[in-house]
Amino acid sequence: MASILVVEDESLLGRSLAASLAEDGHRTRWVPSAEDALAWLRDHQVDLALIDCGLPGMGGMDLLRDLAESHPGTAVIMMTAQADVRTAVSAMKLGAMEFLIKPVDLEAVSLVARRSLSHRRMARTWEHQRKQLTQRYGLHRVIGKCSGIEKAKTLIRRVAAINVDGTARPPNVLISGETGTGKDVFARAVHYEGPRQSGPFIHVNCAALPESLVESELFGHVKGAFTDARSSKRGLFEVADHGTLFLDEISSLPLGLQAKVLTAIETGNIRPVGGADEISVSVHLVAAMNRDPAELVEEGLFRADLYHRLRVVHIDLPPLRSRGGDVDLLAKHFLGVACKKFSMPEKKLTDAARRAIRRHFWPGNVRELSHCIESAVLMGGDEIDAVALPGLRERRNGGSRGEPVDSIELDFSNGPIPLEGVEREVIARAMAETGNNISRAARLLDLSRDALRYRLEKHGFQMQRNGKHL
């Protein structure tokens, strides 16, 4: 049962409409003017309003405009004695669901009312679902206060604040970071905080797609395009139209297919496999990769033109080992999530467990921490000690590849030690530890690649990797 307001200055028609809709089980109210309608709406909520365009005093279109601003959840049906196309178009632009020409048939009004209320319920259901998804995946769910995470949050807020019309696409976003740093979490935050949040979010793990099918998955195919193409299929670019397409591990795409992705970005058109016609799509593209994108370009594994197209907004997520106190915040968060997931009473980490968590290098980053805490919740007692945390490896001398380099012993008893020499020794050990991989060495030293390159040149390092000078 819905609440319906009839705004009609002709008393007989207004009462008849209200009575007819009441017979359908709705609560109805008839008022003769827009002013009376606004007075009623100050104290009451209505699901549907039937409004005559030719009201005396404040006109029906003005009332519609007022309702669109003050009662956006109310469905509106406009009625008029004259079939005016421009008026109908204006009413639809202001949010009217239907436009009826007088004299109106009561049965037709009943049918249109049911249809409008059904659309309103669907819209409210979708809005509720959208709010739930935003609550689940929005930026407020990102845990962390370190500078790298705060910078990423700031970039997402800037993307969300961009106003785009119905045809313009939001800027492309490139997210880079080691495996397990939460690239999918930030991609969803980009979508659910941004201008395309009402559209679909399509997550594609490019590394998991078979190379023989990846083009068909992304761009679709027509019937008969290849042996198993028994029917036409929409590609994920088309499925994500007016929403967000998240291409996770995009660097795993073959170079030839990278060119097709670039064309889709530049033109907004795709061509299905075996098809002759192009399809126009409007997609907010978010891409992610787990290696330094500039390094991939240098090695010829990723197209430079696609890289520059994607990195309009570049979010570089720091590894967990460089996030300082965030590891404590995340451990506490995952502890609460795991206890709730398994319907267990609240548990605590002992001081020894917290120290072990801080000392661990976390090569698997946030994902590894989450799984570690979940396992400890299942296997530990009310208090989780360090022994319940599976597989933790502390920062120690002689660590395996990927862990911090050995400590450097300094003896000041023989006089001053030049800082330049210490810096050169640290850089040399980091480069040796990573096999002369500048990106990985820079992460070990908590430097940018450019800053490390500068120091390499300053100290006269002459190294090669894969037959090329660094």
Q: Which CATH architecture has domain 165-317?
A: 3-Layer(aba) Sandwich (3.40)
Angle between helices 365-379 and 326-341 (to 10 degrees): 50
Q: 8-35: b or e for each residue (b if 16 or more CB lie within 10 Å)?
A: bbeeebbebbbebbeeeebebbbbbbbe
Residue 270, amino acid: I
Report the alpha-carbon distance of residue 201 to residue 245 in Å, rounded: 6
Report the alpha-carbon distance of residue 393 to residue 356 in Å, rounded: 9
Instruction: Classify domain 412-469 at the CATH superfamily level.
Output: Homeodomain-like (1.10.10.60)
Q: What is the pLDDT along the chain (470 residues), one digit of tens a residue?
A: 799 999 999 999 999 999 999 999 999 999 999 999 999 999 999 999 999 998 999 999 999 999 988 888 899 999 988 777 788 888 888 888 888 888 888 998 999 999 988 888 877 776 666 677 767 788 888 999 999 999 999 999 999 888 765 557 899 999 999 999 999 999 999 999 988 888 899 999 999 988 888 999 999 999 888 877 888 899 999 999 999 999 999 999 999 999 999 999 999 999 999 998 999 999 999 999 998 888 899 889 999 999 999 999 999 999 998 898 999 999 999 999 999 999 999 999 999 999 999 988 888 899 999 999 999 999 878 899 988 888 774 443 334 444 444 456 666 666 777 777 788 888 888 887 787 888 888 888 888 887 888 888 888 876 554 444 45
Closest residue by Cα to residue 50 from 30, 31, 24, 78: 78
Looking at domain 321-388, does it have CATH number 3.60.10.10? Answer: no
| Residue extent(s) of CATH 1.10.10.60 domains in the chain | 412-469
Q: Taking the mean position of all CA atoms in its chain, how far away is CA 114? A: 35
Report the alpha-carbon distance of residue 201 to residue 129 in Å, rounded: 13
Q: Half-sphere exposure of residue 176, counting CA atoms within 13 Å on the CB side? A: 14
Count of H helices and E strands in the chain? 18, 18
Report the alpha-carbon distance of residue 378 to residue 364 in Å, rounded: 20
Q: Which pLDDT value is given to residue 166?
A: 53
| DSSP state string for 77-131 | EEEESS--HHHHHHHHHTT-SEEEESSPPHHHHHHHHHHHHHHHHHHHHHHHHHH
Report the alpha-carbon distance of residue 288 to residue 310 in Å, rounded: 10
Q: Which pLDDT value is given to residue 393?
A: 46
Q: Is the pTM of the predicted complex or chain greater than 0.75?
A: no
Report the alpha-carbon distance of residue 466 to residue 300 in Å, rounded: 12
Q: Which pLDDT value is given to residue 467?
A: 44
Pick the CATH number of 3-130 from 3.40.50.300, 3.40.50.150, 3.40.50.2300, 3.60.20.10: 3.40.50.2300
H or E, element range at 234? strand 233-234
| Residue extent(s) of CATH 3.40.50.300 domains in the chain | 165-317
Q: Which pLDDT value is given to residue 288?
A: 97
| Residue extent(s) of CATH 3.40.50.2300 domains in the chain | 3-130
| Phi, psi (rounded to 5 degrees) for 102 | -75, 150
Give residue for tokens 């998955």: 217
| Residue extent(s) of CATH 1.10.8.60 domains in the chain | 321-388
Kindly state the DSSP code that residue 441 receives in the 8-state scheme. Answer: H
